[in-house]
Chain A
């Protein structure tokens, strides 16, 4: 793919604030029409990267191409953005906020107003369209802001931690919105540190830690980074199983189950066969691919803990 055919491409982008490097040599390619997850612990540099993508701040070095343009501001009408820290004009009515941001993105005021009412109605806020935003609940306000980011029907939507602060029902609604955007051929980039959303939604993802990219690929490719494993429950000793050639490590989990890590290419059926041969009485046995959560913890766990402790 050439630079123009990516929805977004970052090449060796670095952002420094004095001695502190917030983003270090980040390269990234987001194909059009996909949902791209931007994962990383707090302080990984996700928001800084998003601000640079949107040209809110400028990178210290490197280059960014958004929708074929070197300037996000030049194509701003084709981009929708929901920032991490949400806020609204307190004294403005819900419909007016949605319409105002749509007009800033080039929609004429009449269409913007009509779209605002239609969107609020569609997403269950029709009764609150005429209410001032200060009277809305936090979740409602967040929904209004999301609609404000989408009212001009952008090609490329950037959502920074969109699920934080939403209740489970509204998280589901947001997931539906994101999937619907992809169905309509839009590109979505969203940042999160909640892996379950990324697991369900992302076509591709990138994991950042300490300002650097440590993974980019599909969720399956991410999961493949960790060896396969089996989980079993037994009251007897699993020592004989630990001696098997395909088992690389074992540990007892907090719930009492045993996790056996297997070398790649080892067939879990062989482990089950060995259990029978050793006459182990099993109350459960399952072969599981590693979850994205495990990959994430495996890749950034130490750094995330460091950041948290600092």
Chain B
């Protein structure tokens, strides 16, 4: 029995490995991963051009403030880039780990500017960089204010916006440093700003834009400048208001910067190590990632199984096979072959995902950021897999989850003559198959709640829900009870599927109705 099933499984596995679809699926996943990490960074760095804007500020009070805020934020970006640059290119980054950590703090930017900004920082690094280190390339400025176009004289608001309209709509271009660029926005600040606090309290509605800052732009997606303007001016207005009320602005600022000193602790962790770090948060959420992988792998492979059975049936190979192997051997072989295909796919996905994380987020031995920092996510994940039941549970639930669905698809496939017929039958049960996917985000929030516990005891959902609860310390009754139930369910399902398979594979014509299937299962062999 096992030898024949092994031969069937080997053929199934090797033939799947030869298909383009398999390799496409296997490679597509890490590519999507890489793209998901790289593309936003690339767009941020290269794709978004510097946004040029004009400010009309008759009171001359605010423009300088906006420019200072833009510069401050830009210097922060430069400093972050310099710190990464230093980590990558220092001869001995470990020696300067503390110094670099200091520059990573949010308050360090003012000191950075005082100490000469980028040139000053690079001077500090002289002699410490590896030979052949590339030159530092500063990030592109996100926003840059420019004077009004020469054709547009300073004028009252209504006239000004009419004159600026061709530039704002992109019909006219601006010349900045010998380059033709678009005008991103026009910020029109009134002479006197409306007192928003008073308006809100009186409940009065002003239909006119009088007293409002007007932000003119045809780009509604990029709200960065809009936020920057309101934040910087808002801060200044609040400081002025404090002074009017006779409060010390510096003291208020100091008070505003007070943060609640909170650390998260987990009583399940060893004494002295209870503090919750990034690794713990990952631990909480990583099962969800695995559940998603599980779901994709189970359904991709189960789909392969369906196609394979229908191919054998529609090509009439099944009859020759059944003269050489029993239906049970054929079923077992197909299940094993496809399961192996799924495991190969999963192993490849997991390894490449770790690799992608490693390459794109952290470099393992890099300095700075001990365990718990973003850069060490791959290491944290590896540690997590070694020290918890995550991987064994994942493999176990994959095997059982695969059997639950693959056996079902196998039986279904045996009753259909074409893929279209199978898809028609699948349509009716598809909503059930989607339930585990929808529950993914909810289970980790309350891994031992009523929803999680009830779903755990419904066999088609058990592998997914229990996998999602695996790091949430579920009660032993749930772990072993559902496991025994699931194994029993799979056993009964295999028996039922074998009966359907035996009759179904030789049947031609219309697929049976659900009631007829039930009769096949219940009738004596």
Interface residues of A (CB under 8 A from B): 51, 54, 56-57, 72-73, 76, 79, 81-83, 85-92, 100-101, 103-105, 145, 148-149
Contacts and interface: CB of A to CB of B under 8 A. Distances in A.
A205 to B, nearest CB: 22
Contact of A87 (B7, B8, B316): B316
A81 B506 contact: no
Nearest to B325: A104
A54 B316 contact: no
Contacts of B323: 54, 56, 72, 76, 79, 81, 83
Nearest to B313: A87
9 contacts: A51-B506, A81-B320, A85-B319, A87-B317, A89-B15, A89-B311, A91-B19, A100-B11, A104-B8
Interface in B308-323: 311-312, 314-317, 319-323
B324 interface: yes
Contact of B324 (A89, A90, A92, A101): A101
Contact of A89 (B8, B315, B326): B315
Interface string B1-44: 00010011001000100110000000000000000000000000
Interface string B300-342: 0000000000011011110111111110000000000000000
Contacts of B322: 54, 56
Contacts of B324: 76, 81, 101, 104-105
A85 B15 contact: no
Interface of B: 4, 7-8, 11, 15, 18-19, 311-312, 314-317, 319-326, 506
Most buried by A among B311, B314, B324, B506: B324
Contacts of A91: 15, 18-19
B11 A88 contact: no
A18 B326 CA distance: 24
A292 to B, nearest CB: 28
Contacts of A101: 320, 324
Contact of A104 (B7, B312, B319): B7
A85 B323 CA distance: 14
Contacts of A90: 311, 315
Contacts of A56: 319, 322-323, 506
B323 to A, nearest CB: 4
A85 B316 CA distance: 6
Most buried by A among B317, B320, B506: B320
Contact of A86 (B8, B15, B316): B316
Nearest to B8: A104
A100 B325 CA distance: 12
Nearest to A149: B320
B492 to A, nearest CB: 23
Nearest to A72: B323
A151 B133 CA distance: 67
Contacts of A92: 15
Given A76-B324, A148-B320, A88 B315 contact: yes
Nearest to B330: A104
A102 to B, nearest CB: 10
B2 to A, nearest CB: 13
Nearest to A73: B326
Contacts of A145: 320
Given A56-B506, A104-B8, 10 more contacts: A51-B506, A79-B323, A81-B320, A81-B324, A87-B314, A90-B315, A92-B15, A101-B320, A145-B320, A149-B320
Contacts of A100: 7, 11
Contacts of B311: 89-90
A148 B317 CA distance: 12
A211 B15 CA distance: 40
Contacts of A103: 7
Contacts of A88: 315, 317
A155 to B, nearest CB: 14
A84 to B, nearest CB: 8
A197 B4 CA distance: 36
A146 B366 CA distance: 64
Contacts of B316: 83, 85-87
A105 B506 CA distance: 21
A92 B319 CA distance: 18
Nearest to B321: A104
Contacts of B326: 73
Most buried by A among B312, B314, B319, B325: B319
Contacts of A85: 316, 319
Contacts of A105: 324
A82 B316 CA distance: 11
A254 to B, nearest CB: 39
A28 B126 CA distance: 99
A175 to B, nearest CB: 22
B305 to A, nearest CB: 15
B11 A83 contact: no
Contacts of A57: 506
A86 B315 CA distance: 7
A86 B322 CA distance: 14
A207 B424 CA distance: 43
Most buried by A among B18, B314, B316, B325: B316
A83 B19 CA distance: 28
A83 B319 contact: yes
B15 A104 contact: no
B4 to A, nearest CB: 6
A18 B452 CA distance: 47
Nearest to B317: A87
Nearest to A103: B7
Contacts of A89: 15, 311-312, 315, 317
